[in-house]
Structures are given as structure tokens and as C-alpha cells.
């Protein structure tokens, strides 16, 4: 699916790409009619709608609890995809956006009594801004050095928050129950939060799709293929990278606020869980990095596996072994993940499933 | 301060393995932390089984480390050597997850202890525990042994040759695959040895390797790649830094300082502070 | 024919249900693995002993019906906050828990409390002393332990009587429980006129205390107070001993109460622990077994003497049982009312819960004792109650070296 570097770079840099005399493919159609015409867009809307309607209709709280974890996994994997799959920069510390967004948002919503949505959006914006600033520094590094630097950022932020008094240091912050009052009490608040998370999930997927179909996205792919060549062809790699790093922080930060509000508490050990960050990478590779559906698929499947093993006393950490094994197989033999394998089986799927 | 130097030599030993592998085959070994933890458990199992002097048991730990390293090399690293760095990062990381998952399933996350103590000696109010001093000495001895190996023996020189220029080495008749496997195995064995030493100092779990892996990254980045003694010195430096800073601020700020330093050094000196001029 | 079969079957069903005991499902998680496993297992054994004794006696009797106690869940929370939330949600939504017991430790309990309050279920908490959780506006939490503010008062009063000019150092875990204990203690120490020479919190999961010990040595205190739970407490004690730090008294939280503490050998001797209950304390039980009977049954079943975590666990079950009997029902609102009205002395001590909305569930009846590990005539390490003076079983050893 990734176009040749020169075409991509050329297209992103502004030259026109001739569409040719063949009937326009779905991808080209969408470029003309925008992503609103794209099947994946509608798939996302339908799927999100179902995820809201089904548990709500039956007041099925147990199902809701399962699905919310799936939604968070999809959000994290999709936004991580923007860095790894599109731009080719491995972010090992991705979870720092989620955790930091959780802290900022929870603080605003419960200590300062802001409206929840406003708090979440502010958390998203502030974490994105921080990402832009940090990114400007570490995005100068390439490849593995960048990956290590992202771990450094995660550990440093964890350490800072663990010492930061207003946010409860290592103990963290616990929400009092009257914080749920503005939303009508805990039961109602949990449903509202759930719906908001599904909305964020849908936005993550649509954002991934929109970027992929845009000139900006082509530029990112060019950077992934060969950064130096892309620069030579006129792409401002530094700006592109900084923007995508910052963008990939926004929705996870919003989701962080919502999730930690739902959970009623936050502390450094659960906000900045290193393993969760790494599992995001597994989800992505499993599903198929660089594709929108792949991120969602990988996130959903992995989360179900993990939940399934949760209550088994022998196997509760076995998901790590299985995840590691799957990741190894994917890296060695099937770097395109599940979607890549699908593309090989059914080449025409490339035009429909992004 | 002295405590800082003592623990710093163990940091250095831990980093040597990472640095060697990185320098020779441009692979960042993300199993490093997990192997350190395995070294801790290796020492624990041997000690509970045989009740010998823990420092004698270091030798079988190193031997097992070599075998395990060869195994890991052939199953996951060999296939990704030529490929972009992302592949080797992910494949070693996958092995890391497998080790951590299996380790947690076997040993859980409850803390373990190797209850072996050497008498320490006291200077004024401060006592230096025997275990710390023995660990530091072991680390220095192993570092020197590695230097000797790399500079005075044929296999060692072969490793350095492949690190310098793989194609030229092959033209000279060196089987680069064997050499790479050997270098990787040594790197793993060093990590296991450092874990074994740490197990005599503090309680540990399968997750304890993580913080040592992070410190190893800091040390390796400070030292530059491939020169083991450089890693040892950088480790001592890090230990000294920790020792110098702690009297003035709460100990819990240390990780922030270390990793702030790490990121800054990475950005300012992409090739390491002590890197050789010739790549 | 069909109607006859149906009627017969329904009569059968009615007969069956009225003669078979119904169940009361109680859910909780245990830290079977992770840093809290030692302390959590002791609490679990308290739960288990109570359940076995209650069921052997026919179950909980309320309004003429017999209810057998059944534990649901009993999952491993791995000493991990995130798992606690997922597992308590599961126990309420899928495992049909009627009542909940807390996990072990203040932080895990605070997390579980969010879930139980969100779903409106009663939870009795043990192994959880931190008081802040009860100020967040709850309706169904009930604390069995004396709150954190009580822990170190006795130590400082005892020290004042013994050595009013002592210099004190606080070295404690940066986690909700220890912070909740040490913060008021620091203020009280200064109020009593002690010189607080050094005070620092270490990150949870710290295993290397040498840096902080060096700072302690430089500050030259006579007394060290702090710790957290079993792993850090035992490691701190061991490393203090290895570094030969010259202290006249060491008081650590939680860890020294475990029977496992004696494994530390010389490093264990002389350490003082604030305790929620000791076998030597002799309260007159208005309900439930006597202290001696409890200790005997526990030791017979588990081959070790009970620690206060076990006593607290047993007390959870015992107080819930009494509340159900008093309420005559398992309905949450009625049982909560009965719990709110509780004011009783058992082998564990006096139990009474605060009922004002801004501190609902806080334990206001229970008080604490101090125990110290001492070597008896044969050289074996045993725990003795040293405070309050009226109830002591031995004198405080001071200085310990």
C-alpha cells in the first residue's frame, strides 16, 4: 500500500500526480470526495455506534466494562500508529501522553471542578503542547536513539510526578464521590464517560484515516521510507515530525482524563506503566502497522486475550509470553501483521481496507 | 560516596554487555534487563541448591549465560541483523516479553533474597558491607578479563575486526556469523553476571532488571559503544553521581536526574561523550 | 398430565429451596503474589478461619433462615492497583458478590472502595488504616483497623516516658498508608519536644536503602521510625543491621508483626511494631470467640501464631455476621444500618464506626498496642506487648544494643 518514495515525496511536495486513465480506485475516489466516501470511515461509525448502543440498550454493565478496555487499546494503538506506522519512528514511551493527560485532566476536573469535557480537552491540548516542546528536542535523533530517548522521557516524567506534591506524589489522587455529581451520580457518570471514550476511539480512527489520505500523510510515509531523500525532495521533515508527534499525543491524553475519571483515581505506577506502552507496540505490529484497521484489530484482539487470562491464577501473566511470541513471529515472518497477511491473500482488499 | 563507587562498578558491568552487542552488531539488546533478572534468579537457584560461596557460583552463571545467549542469538537476532534497526529492536523486545511473562508465571512478582553475607569493614560511623565490596571487585575483574580477551586473544580480535568492518573481516577469512554469535553470547553472559552480583545485595523480582537496563542505557550512551573499560568507567561515574547528589536531595529525585541527563546527552552527544573519533 | 407434572415439580422445587441453606457471597482479592503477599495471606487466613467456623456452626442465622458463607472471587490482585479495580468490578457484576471485604493495604483498599461505592455494595475493610478514603463521601465502607493517625502516638508517648531528650528520624515508604501514619506523628513528635533530625520518604519498591541510611548516619538520631510493609520493612531492618547503625530504638510499621519476622535473626531483635492486636491482649468478648480460643484455632490450622492482619480479617467476618443477624436480613440498606449501630467489644477490641457523612465508616472504637521482639531465656525471638503499660507482657528493651 505504501507508494514509492519518489512519488510520495513528489506528491507531498506539491507536484501533481497524474491519475491515469484507469477507473479511479476507492483511494483515489476518497481523495476526490474526501474521506467521507471511504468504507473504513463508515465502518468506524457503524462499529462505534454498535459499541454504544448494544450495552446501553440492555444496561449491560459487564459488557460495557469489557468494551471500554478494548476502546482504550484501540485509541492507544491508533495514535501510536501515527508515529510508528506512518512516520517510521518507534515511540516506546507513548503511554506518557495517556498518563500525563490523565493527571492534568483529573486535577482540573476534580480538584478545580471544571467541566469534564473541558478538562479533557485542556489536558489534550496541554500534553500536545508539551509533546511539541519535547519533540523538538528528541526528534533530532534517529532510529533506536529516538526510541531510547522516548523511554527516557517516560521515566523522567514518572519520576517528576512521583515527587510532585500537588498531584499526590507516589500516592496519587483519589476522586471524591461528589465529583460524579455534576454528571448525575456515579452510575450515570460511568455511562457518559463510556460514550465519550467511544467517541474518542472513533475520532482516533478517523484521524488516522484522514492523515493517511492527505498530502501530509504522504509526506510522513516519505519520511518513513527514506528521510534524507524526502528532505532533499523538499519535505520539511523537522516540522512534519514535530507535528505528528504532537498530534499523536492529543487523543490519548483526552482518553487518559476520561479513563482515570472513570476509575476514580490515578497514581504514577498505573499512569506511566511501561509494559502498557510496549503492549501498544505489540497490538500495532500484530494488527498491521501503517493501516487504520490494523491498529484497531490488533488493539481489540490483544485486549480480549489479556482480559481472558486475567482471572486465571496460573496464566494471568501468560499473555506476555503469548504476546512476545506473536510479536517475534510477526517481526521475523510477517512484518505486515494481520492486515498485511490479508493483503497478501486478497490483494484487492488493499483498495478497501486501509 | 564510596557506596556510589561500589554500586557504580556493578552498573558498569551491566552496561558492558549492552555496549558490546551494540558496538559489534548495531543491535540494541532489549532483553538486557530480563537477562539481568534471570541472572539474579540463576544465582538464587544455584545458591539454594548448593549453598556454596555465591561468588564461586558466578562462574556457572556466566557459563549458562553464554549458552542462553547463543540460543537467543540463533532464534531471534540472527535473522534481523541486516534489516532496519526497528526489526532488531522489536525482536529482542519480543524475547524480553517472553522472558518476563514466563518468569512471572514461574516465580510471581514476590520478592526473593539470596541470603549470603560476607563480613564488611567499618570506617568511623560508616560500614561497607562485604557483599558490596565483593561485587565491585568481581565487576572489575570481569571487566579486565574482557579487555584482555578482546585485545590479546584471536577470537577477541576477530570480534573487534567484525565490529570495525564486517565485510573486510569476512574477506580476511573470519566467519562473521560465528563471531557475531559469540559476541552476543558474551554480552548476555555479562548481563547475567551483573544480575547474579546484584542478587547478593538486594531483594529482587523478575521485574528488577528493568531499572538496571535503564541505567545501562545511560551508561552506554555516556561511554560510547564497544569499549568495555569505557562502560566500566562510565558506570563508576554514574554511581559517583548518584552518591554525590543524594545527600542534598531526596533519593526519589534520582531517576529524574539520571534520565534527564540521559536525554540531554543523547541529544547533545549522539555518539557518546567518550566515543572514539574513528567510528 | 402436563399440569400435574408441573405442579409436582414446583412443589418439589419449593421444598428443596426451603430446606437447602441459601448462600451469602463475599468477594475479595488477595495479594497472592507481589510485594504484599506476606501480609495479605495472613489477612486471608483470618477470613478463611471465620468462614470455616461459621459454616461448621450451620451458617449465619437471620430471621429464621440459615445462610452459608461462600467466598467468590478470591482472585490474585498481584499487589497491583489496576488489577484490584478490574477484579472488584468483576466480582460485583459477574460473580454476584453480596458483600465485599477489602484487599490488603490502604492503597489497594482505596481503589476497591471506588468500585464498591460506584455500585452501592457494602465493604468491610481490614489491613487498611489510612483515613482519607472515608472522607470522600461514602455510604457503605466500614473500617476495622484503627486509623493511621493512631499508629505512632503510643510509640512517641512511650519514648517520652523513657527518653524525653531523644533525637528522632523518620524513614518511610512514600505510599498512602505510611504517609498517613508519619505525617501526624511528625507533628506530635515536635509537640512532645523531640528533635526530629531527619525525615525522608523513599519510593515504593525501593530495595537499596544504602543512600538513605548514609543520610541517617550523618544525622545521628537515637531512634528511627518508619517503614511501610513487609518487603521494604524487612530489607530496611536488615540493611540497618548490616551497616551497624547505632540506634537505641527502631520502630517499623506492619512488617515486624508477621511471624516471618524472626527469620531475620539478629536484625529482627529489638524492633518495635505498632499493632492492631496481639495474642496477649485480653479483651472480654461480648460476641464471638475469646482471644485465646481464636489464637488456638488459628495456630492449630496454620501452624503459626496469628498476626494482627489475621485478627483483623477474622474480625471483618465476625462483625459482618453480627450485623446480618441484627438486621435479620442480607439487604444492603438494613445491614448498613446495623453496622452503623455497632458498638461492641470482641476479642479484637472495641468496634464502633463513625457515621457522620464526611467520615463515614472510620473506626473510632479500636485502639492499638505496641509489641517488641525480644529474646527469651532460651534465646528464641518472641513478640512481647510493651505498651500500654497496663496491658504489657514485658518491659521495653531500650536501648536495643
Is the domain of C101 the same as that of C158? no
What's the number of CA atoms in the CB half-sphere (13 Å) around residue A211? Answer: 26
How high is the pLDDT of residue C11?
60
Smallest CA-to-CA distance from B206 within B117, B109, B275 is with B109
Quick one: cell of C122?
A: 457494602
Helix (H) / strand (E) containing C385: strand C381-387
CA–CA separation, B139 vs B134, rounded Å?
A: 9
In a domain, C15, yes or no: no
CA–CA separation, B268 vs B122, rounded Å?
A: 42
Spell C326-345 as b/e; 16+ CB within 10 A means b: bbeebebebbbebbbebebb
Quick one: cell of A23?
A: 477507473
**Chain B residue with Cα closest to A137:** B267
Is the domain of C217 the same as that of C69? no
Chain A environment of B98 (Cβ under 8 Å): 320-321, 324-325, 328
Task: Please tell me whether the peptide bond between C388 and the residue prior to it is cis, using omega within 30 degrees of 0.
Answer: yes
Is the domain of C384 the same as that of C262? yes
How high is the pLDDT of residue C3?
67
ipTM above 0.95, yes or no: no
In contact, A253 and A97? CB cutoff 8 Å: yes
Smallest CA-to-CA distance from C176 within C204, C136, C156, C150 is with C204
> How far is the CA of B6 from the CAs of B55, B119, B131, B138, in angstroms?
16, 16, 10, 11
Pairing assessment for the beta strands C381-387 and C369-375 based on DSSP bridges? antiparallel
3-state secondary structure chain A: CCCCHHHHHHHHHCCCCCCCCCCCCHHHHHHHHCHHHCHHHHHHHHHHHHHHHHHHHCCCHHHHHHHHHHHHHHHHHHHHHHHHHHCCCCCCCCHHHHHHHHHHHHHHHHHCCCCHHHHHHHHHHHHHHHHHHHHHHHCCCCHHHHHHHHHHHHHHHHHHHHHCHHHCCCCCEECCHHHHHHHCCHHHHHHHHHHHHHHHHHHHHHHHHHHHCCHHHHHHHHHHHCHHHHHHCCCCHHHHHHHHHHHHHHHHHHHHHHHHHHHCEECHHHHCCHHHHHHHHHHHHHHCCCCHHHHHHHHHHHHHHHHHHHCCCCCCCHHHHHHHHHHHHHHHHCCCHHHHHHHHHCCCHHHHCC
Q: Does B124 touch chain C (CB under 8 A)?
A: no
Indicate the DSSP class of residue C147: P
Please give the angle made by the CA atoms of C383, C389 and C395, to the nearest 5 degrees: 45
Q: In 10 A of CB B81, how many CB atoms?
A: 17
**Chain B residue with Cα closest to A278:** B93
Provide CB contacts within 8 A for B276, sequence distance 6+: B224, B226, B227
How high is the pLDDT of residue A197?
96
Chain A environment of C110 (Cβ under 8 Å): 174, 265
Torsion of CA C91, C93, C97, C100, to 10 degrees: 60
Q: In 10 A of CB A16, how many CB atoms?
A: 7
**Chain C residue with Cα closest to B117:** C242
Query: Subunits that touch chain C (at least 3 Cβ pairs < 8 angstroms)?
Result: A, B
How high is the pLDDT of residue A19?
45
Where chain A has pLDDT below 70, the residues are 1-35, 311-316
Specify the number of domains making up chain A.
Answer: 1
A232 phi, psi to nearest 5 deg: -60, -40
CA–CA separation, A78 vs A299, rounded Å?
A: 8
CA–CA separation, A83 vs A81, rounded Å?
A: 5
Spell B89-121 as b/e; 16+ CB within 10 A means b: bbbbbbbbbbbbbbbbbebbbbbbbbebeeebe
How high is the pLDDT of residue C6?
63
In contact, A267 and A44? CB cutoff 8 Å: no
Closest CB to A324: pick one of B80, B98, B253: B98
Is the domain of C142 the same as that of C35? yes
Quick one: cell of A324?
A: 512476545
CA–CA separation, A333 vs A337, rounded Å?
A: 9
In contact, C231 and C335? CB cutoff 8 Å: no
Q: Does C231 touch chain B (CB under 8 A)?
A: yes
Q: What is the three-class DSSP state of C335?
A: helix
Q: Strand order of the sheet with strand C381-387?
A: C195-202, C167-173, C223-227, C249-252, C272-275, C369-375, C381-387
In a domain, C206, yes or no: yes
CA–CA separation, B203 vs B216, rounded Å?
A: 19
CA–CA separation, A101 vs A250, rounded Å?
A: 8
In contact, A154 and A277? CB cutoff 8 Å: yes
**Chain C residue with Cα closest to B118:** C242
Interface test with C, best of B40, B106, B108 (most C CBs within 10 A): B108
Please give, rounded to a whole number of angstroms, the shortest distance from the CA of A141 to a CA of chain B. 7
In a domain, A325, yes or no: no
Where are the domains positioned within chain B? 9-112+120-234
Q: Is the dihedral of CA B129, B132, B135, B139 positive or negative?
A: negative
Inter-chain CB proximity C114 and A270 less than 8 Å:
no
Indicate the DSSP class of residue C134: G
Q: pLDDT tens digits for chain C (401 residues)?
A: 666 666 666 565 555 554 456 899 999 999 988 888 889 999 999 999 999 999 999 999 998 899 999 999 899 888 888 889 889 999 999 999 999 999 999 989 999 999 999 999 999 999 999 888 999 889 999 999 999 998 999 999 999 999 999 999 999 998 889 999 999 999 999 999 999 999 999 988 888 898 899 899 999 999 999 999 999 999 999 999 988 899 999 999 999 998 889 888 889 999 999 999 998 887 889 999 999 999 999 999 999 999 999 999 999 999 999 999 999 999 999 999 999 999 999 999 999 999 999 999 999 999 899 999 999 888 889 999 999 888 888 999 989 87
> How far is the CA of A143 from the CAs of A80, B79, C211, in angstroms?
16, 19, 36
Band the pLDDT of B248: cuts 50, 70, 90.
confident
R_g (Cα) of chain C, nearest Å:
23
Q: In 10 A of CB B154, how many CB atoms?
A: 8
Inter-chain CB proximity A160 and B256 less than 8 Å:
yes
Smallest CA-to-CA distance from C329 within C70, C27, C63, C64 is with C63
Range of the domain at C71: 20-146+282-359
Question: Which residues of A lie closer than 8 Å to B, measured between beta carbons?
Answer: 88, 90, 137-138, 140-141, 143-145, 147-149, 151-153, 155-156, 158-160, 162-163, 170, 274, 278, 281-282, 285, 314-315, 317-325, 327-328, 331-332, 335
CA–CA separation, B103 vs C64, rounded Å?
A: 52
Is the domain of C41 the same as that of C139? yes
Torsion of CA C159, C162, C168, C172, to 10 degrees: -40
How high is the pLDDT of residue A18?
46
| Among B128-132, B162-166, C68-72, the range of highest mean pLDDT | C68-72
Indicate which CATH number applies to the domain containing C319.
Answer: 3.40.50.2300
In a domain, A296, yes or no: no
Indicate which CATH number applies to the domain containing A83.
Answer: 1.10.3470
In a domain, C8, yes or no: no
In contact, C49 and C3? CB cutoff 8 Å: no
Quick one: cell of C271?
A: 524492633
Specify the number of domains making up chain C.
Answer: 2
Is the domain of C197 the same as that of C250? yes
In contact, C227 and C173? CB cutoff 8 Å: yes
Band the pLDDT of B117: cuts 50, 70, 90.
confident
Spell B175-189 as b/e; 16+ CB within 10 A means b: ebeebbbbbbbbbbb
C305 phi, psi to nearest 5 deg: -70, 155
Quick one: cell of B42?
A: 540463576
What's the number of CA atoms in the CB half-sphere (13 Å) around residue C325? Answer: 14
Range of the domain at A201: 5-12+26-274
C218 phi, psi to nearest 5 deg: -65, -30
Q: Is the dihedral of CA B264, B266, B270, B274 positive or negative?
A: positive
Smallest CA-to-CA distance from C228 within C195, C262, C159, C180 is with C180
How high is the pLDDT of residue B170?
82
Please give, rounded to a whole number of angstroms, the shortest distance from the CA of C128 to a CA of chain B. 20
Greater model confidence, B184 or B225? B184
> How far is the CA of B143 from the CAs of A186, B14, B39, C191, C297, in angstroms?
60, 10, 17, 54, 57
CA–CA separation, A172 vs C114, rounded Å?
A: 14
In contact, B177 and B78? CB cutoff 8 Å: yes
Quick one: cell of A230?
A: 524526502
Amino acid at each position: 500500500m505504501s507508494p514509492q518514495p519518489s512519488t510520495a515525496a513528489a506528491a507531498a511536495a506539491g507536484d501533481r500526480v497524474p491519475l491515469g486513465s484507469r477507473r479511479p480506485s476507492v483511494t483515489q475516489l476518497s481523495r476526490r470526495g474526501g474521506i467521507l466516501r471511504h468504507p473504513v470511515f463508515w465502518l468506524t461509525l457503524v462499529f462505534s455506534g454498535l459499541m454504544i448502543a448494544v450495552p446501553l440498550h440492555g444496561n449491560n454493565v459487564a459488557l460495557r466494562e469489557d468494551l471500554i478496555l478494548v476502546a482504550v487499546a484501540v485509541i492507544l494503538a491508533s495514535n501510536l500508529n501515527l508515529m510508528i506506522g506512518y512516520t517510521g519512528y518507534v515511540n516506546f514511551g507513548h503511554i506518557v501522553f495517556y498518563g500525563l493527560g490523565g493527571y492534568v485532566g483529573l486535577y482540573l476536573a476534580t480538584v478545580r471542578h471544571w467541566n469534564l469535557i473541558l478538562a479533557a480537552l485542556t489536558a489534550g491540548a496541554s500534553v500536545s503542547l508539551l509533546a511539541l516542546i519535547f519533540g523538538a528536542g528528541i526528534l533530532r535523533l534517529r532510529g533506536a536513539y529516538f526510541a531510547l530517548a522516548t523511554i527516557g522521557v517516560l521515566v523522567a516524567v514518572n519520576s517528576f510526578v512521583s515527587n510532585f506534591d500537588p498531584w499526590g506524589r507516589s500516592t496519587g489522587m483519589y476522586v471524591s464521590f461528589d465529583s460524579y455529581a455534576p454528571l448525575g451520580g456515579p452510575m450515570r457518570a460511568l455511562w457518559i464517560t463510556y460514550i465519550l471514550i467511544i467517541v474518542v476511539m472513533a475520532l482516533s480512527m478517523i484521524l488516522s484515516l484522514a492523515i493517511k489520505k492527505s498530502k501530509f500523510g504522504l509526506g510522513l510515509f516519505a519520511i518513513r521510507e527514506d528521510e534524507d531523500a524526502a528532505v532533499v525532495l523538499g519535505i520539511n521533515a523537522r516540522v512534519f515530525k514535530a507535528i505528528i508527534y504532537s498530534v499523536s499525543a492529543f487523543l490519548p491524553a483526552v482518553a487518559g482524563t476520561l479513563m482515570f475519571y472513570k476509575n476514580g483515581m490515578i497514581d504514577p505506577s498505573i499512569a506511566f506503566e511501561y509494559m502498557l506502552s510496549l503492549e501498544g507496540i505489540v497490538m500495532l505490529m500484530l494488527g498491521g502497522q501503517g493501516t487504520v484497521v490494523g491498529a484497531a484489530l490488533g488493539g481489540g484482539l490483544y485486549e480480549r486475550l489479556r482480559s481472558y487470562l486475567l482471572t486465571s491464577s496460573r496464566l494471568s501473566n501468560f499473555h506476555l509470553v503469548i504476546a512476545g511470541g506473536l510479536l517475534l513471529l510477526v517481526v521475523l515472518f510477517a512484518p505486515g501483521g494481520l492486515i498485511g497477511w490479508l493483503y497478501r491473500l486478497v490483494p484487492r482488499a488493499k483498495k478497501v481496507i486501509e | 560516596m564510596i557506596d556510589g563507587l561500589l554500586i557504580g562498578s556493578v552498573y558498569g558491568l551491566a552496561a558492558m554487555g549492552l555496549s558490546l552487542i551494540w558496538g559489534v552488531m548495531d543491535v540494541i539488546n532489549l532483553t538486557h534487563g530480563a537477562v539481568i533478572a534471570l541472572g539474579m534468579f540463576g544465582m538464587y537457584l544455584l545458591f539454594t541448591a548448593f549453598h556454596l560461596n555465591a561468588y564461586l557460583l558466578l562462574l556457572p552463571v556466566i557459563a549458562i549465560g553464554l549458552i542462553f545467549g547463543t540460543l537467543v542469538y540463533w532464534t531471534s537476532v540472527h535473522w534481523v541483523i541486516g534489516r532496519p534497526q526497528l526489526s532488531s529492536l522489536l525482536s529482542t523486545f519480543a524475547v524480553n516479553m517472553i522472558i518476563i511473562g514466563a518468569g512471572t508465571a514461574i516465580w510471581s512478582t514476590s520478592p526473593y533474597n539470596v541470603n549470603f553475607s560476607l563480613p564488611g569493614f567499618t570506617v568511623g560511623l560508616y560500614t561497607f558491607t562485604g557483599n558490596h565490596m565483593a561485587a565491585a571487585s568481581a565487576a572489575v575483574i570481569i571487566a579486565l578479563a574482557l579487555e584482555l580477551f578482546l585485545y590479546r586473544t584471536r577470537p577477541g580480535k576477530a570480534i573487534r575486526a567484525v565490529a570495525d568492518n564486517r565485510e573486510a573481516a569476512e574477506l580476511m577469512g573470519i566467519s562473521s556469523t560465528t563471531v557475531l554469535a559469540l559476541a552476543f553470547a558474551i554480552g548476555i553472559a555479562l548481563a547475567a553476571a551483573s544480575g547474579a552480583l546484584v542478587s547478593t545485595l538486594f531483594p529482587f523480582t523478575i521485574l528488577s532488571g528493568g531499572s538496571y537496563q535503564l541505567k545501562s542505557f545511560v551508561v552506554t550512551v555516556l561511554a560510547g559503544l564497544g569499549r568495555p573499560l569505557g562502560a566500566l568507567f562510565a558506570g563508576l561515574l554514574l554511581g559517583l553521581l548518584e552518591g554525590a547528589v543524594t545527600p542534598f536531595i531526596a533519593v526519589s529525585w534520582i531517576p529524574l536526574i539520571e534520565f534527564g541527563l540521559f536525554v540531554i546527552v543523547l541529544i547533545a552527544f549522539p555518539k557518546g561523550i567518550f566515543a572514539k573519533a574513528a567510528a | 398430565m402436563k399440569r400435574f407434572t408441573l405442579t409436582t415439580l414446583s412443589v418439589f422445587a419449593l421444598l428443596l429451596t426451603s430446606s437447602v441453606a441459601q448462600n451469602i457471597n463475599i468477594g475479595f482479592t488477595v495479594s497472592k503474589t507481589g510485594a504484599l503477599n506476606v501480609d495479605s495471606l495472613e489477612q486471608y487466613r483470618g477470613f478463611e478461619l471465620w468462614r470455616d467456623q461459621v459454616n461448621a456452626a450451620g451458617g449465619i442465622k437471620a430471621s429464621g433462615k440459615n445462610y452459608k458463607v461462600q467466598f467468590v472471587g478470591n482472585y490474585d490482585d498481584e499487589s497491583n492497583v489496576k488489577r484490584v479495580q478490574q477484579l472488584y468490578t468483576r466480582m460485583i457484576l459477574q460473580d454476584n458478590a453480596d458483600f465485599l471485604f477489602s484487599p490488603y493495604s490502604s492503597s489497594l483498599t482505596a481503589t476497591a472502595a471506588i468500585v464498591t461505592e460506584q455500585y452501592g455494595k457494602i465493604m468491610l475493610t481490614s489491613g487498611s488504616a489510612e483515613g482519607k478514603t472515608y472522607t470522600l463521601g461514602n455510604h457503605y465502607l466500614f473500617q476495622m483497623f484503627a486509623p493511621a493517625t493512631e499508629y505512632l502516638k503510643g510509640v512517641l508517648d512511650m519514648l517520652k516516658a523513657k527518653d524525653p531528650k531523644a533525637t528522632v528520624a523518620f524513614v518511610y515508604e512514600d505510599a498512602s498508608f505510611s504517609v498517613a501514619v508519619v505525617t501526624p506523628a511528625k507533628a506530635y513528635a515536635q509537640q512532645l519536644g523531640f528533635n526530629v533530625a531527619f525525615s525522608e520518604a523513599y519510593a515504593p519498591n525501593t530495595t537499596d536503602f544504602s543512600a538513605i541510611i548514609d543520610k541517617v548516619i550523618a544525622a545521628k538520631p537515637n531512634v528511627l521510625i518508619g517503614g511501610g510493609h513487609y518487603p521494604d520493612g524487612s530489607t530496611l531492618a536488615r540493611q540497618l543491621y548490616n551497616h551497624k547503625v547505632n540506634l537505641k530504638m527502631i520502630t517499623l510499621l506492619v512488617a515486624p508483626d508477621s511471624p516471618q519476622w524472626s527469620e531475620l535473626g539478629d536484625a529482627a531483635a529489638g524492633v518495635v511494631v505498632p499493632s492492631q492486636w496481639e495474642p496477649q491482649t485480653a479483651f472480654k468478648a461480648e460476641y464471638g470467640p475469646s482471644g485465646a480460643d481464636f489464637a488456638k484455632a488459628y495456630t492449630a490450622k496454620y501452624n503459626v501464631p496469628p498476626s494482627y492482619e489475621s485478627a483483623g480479617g477474622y474480625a471483618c467476618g465476625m462483625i459482618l455476621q453480627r450485623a446480618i443477624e441484627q438486621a435479620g436480613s442480607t439487604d444492603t440498606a438494613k445491614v448498613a444500618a446495623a453496622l452503623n449501630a455497632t458498638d461492641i467489644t470482641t476479642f479484637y477490641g472495641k468496634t464502633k464506626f463513625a457515621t457522620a457523612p464526611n467520615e463515614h465508616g472510620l473506626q473510632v472504637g479500636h485502639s492499638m498496642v505496641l509489641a517488641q521482639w525480644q529474646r527469651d531465656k532460651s534465646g528464641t525471638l518472641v513478640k512481647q506487648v510493651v505498651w500500654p503499660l497496663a496491658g504489657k507482657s514485658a518491659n521495653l528493651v531500650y536501648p536495643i544494643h
